[in-house]
Amino acid sequence: MNKKLTLILNDEIVERAKEYALDKNLSISSLVESYLQSLTMERKYDNFEISPFVKSMSTGSSISEDIRPKSEYSEYLIKKYK
């Protein structure tokens, strides 16, 4: 069953969302529903730590210069197969 929901959003965000939805051949309602579903769904891996590198890919932010994903992964493999 569907239910009507009224939202108050910034004009610029609405316009960008409309462009995104049009590009993806989706409705704004389906975008909002998918987002809310992803926020509220049961998470099996709540204690699972996401690496800073993966977080940076999903958020578009840059990672710290102190983090070296390749060398850290290499160290992990050496420890695992030692």
Report the mean per-residue pLDDT for the chain. Answer: 81
> Are 55 and 73 part of one and the same domain?
yes
| 55/82 same-domain check | yes
Full residue range of the structural domain in which residue 33 is found: 9-44
Domain count, the chain: 2
Q: What is the DSSP string of 46-67?
A: TTPPPPHHHHHHHH-PPPPTT-
What's the pTM value of the predicted model, to 2 decimals? Answer: 0.48
CA separation for the pair 61, 52 (Å, rounded): 10
Q: Note whether residue 20 is domain-resident.
A: yes
Q: Say what the alpha-carbon torsion angle 46, 49, 52, 55 is, to the nearest 10 degrees.
A: -20
Quick one: what percent of the chain has pLDDT higher than 90? Answer: 30
